[in-house]
Amino acid sequence: MAQSPSPSQQRTTSASSMGRGVLKGAFALLDELRRQGGEAGLTQIANACGLPKASTHRLLHQLLTVGAVERHRGRYRVGGQLYRIGQAWQPHPGLRLAARQPLHGLRAATGASVVVTVLYEDLALTIASVPGEVEPLAPVRDGMGFTLDTAAGQVLTAGPPRRTAGRPETAVLEREQVMEGVCCAALPVCSPDGQLRAAITAMVPPHRRLQTVAEHTARAGAAITANLGRAAKGTAPLPPVLRH
């Protein structure tokens, strides 16, 4: 006959389940803040998450105490501490830093809004971005996701790139199929060993010559790959936060 759990084991199991429930609720609130554009009121958050206002308020207060949430004019928004922690997430070490200069160079050469995306669940998730000419039509921000039928999504789901990866003819070209007034050129970004790590996408108005944009985008992707190779030779930890 199986032994029944002891009272202490029951209390431990109950506490563990409660802890998981609190964490799940807290992350649901944070995700709702993201969906609301980063800021929302108590009633709005509670209704969207299907939680009682009292429970929502209690969870938000706990998040406030650790800096994951801030209050602003009676509303709640994602806190600076959570932002700092989130910046440490990288699907491939050094990718965000490796992309920084090439993205700005691509923006300067083409006027494009430029993003680097990685495959995350069922989205092409932006990990680095620089806004350009089409910003009023298609704003770009780190953390935003694109569906997999977009140019970036097609690159990320196409499987391992061919040996000619990085050349313009491997680009996915999209001419206003997803959004009127926005054309895209997307190419794979590989690590030095040839593994697909991300997609780089340039978004431009229709009057831009898309093949030329693709050529510039290919060079930016190759520059990111080169930067990844240099970064792999040695990385240093970030310094601690300095307070004066």
The torsion angle over the Cα atoms of residues 105, 106, 110 and 115, rounded to 10 degrees, is -140
Token output for 237? 């930890």
Q: Name which of 171, 176, 96, 110 is nearest 138 in CA terms.
A: 176
Q: What is the pLDDT of residue 15?
A: 43
In tens digits, the chain (244 residues) has pLDDT values of 455 555 554 444 444 444 456 778 788 888 888 777 778 888 888 888 888 889 889 988 888 888 888 888 888 888 877 777 766 666 788 898 999 999 999 999 999 999 999 998 899 999 999 999 999 999 998 888 999 999 999 999 987 666 554 454 579 999 999 999 999 999 999 998 888 999 999 999 999 999 999 999 999 999 999 999 887 665 555 555 554 4
Strands of the 145-146 sheet, one edge to the other: 145-146, 123-130, 113-120, 196-204, 183-190, 172-175
Token output for 64? 């406030």
Q: What is the pLDDT of residue 235?
A: 53
How many degrees, rounded to 5, is the angle at CA 41 between CA 38 and CA 44?
A: 100
- The length of the chain in residues reads 244
Strands of the 69-72 sheet, one edge to the other: 39-40, 75-78, 69-72
C-beta of residue 155 within 8 angstroms of C-beta of residue 188: yes
Burial of 220 (0-12, 13-18, 19+ CB in 10 A): buried
Q: Name which of 42, 70, 40 is nearest 55 in CA terms.
A: 42
Token output for 43? 């009633």
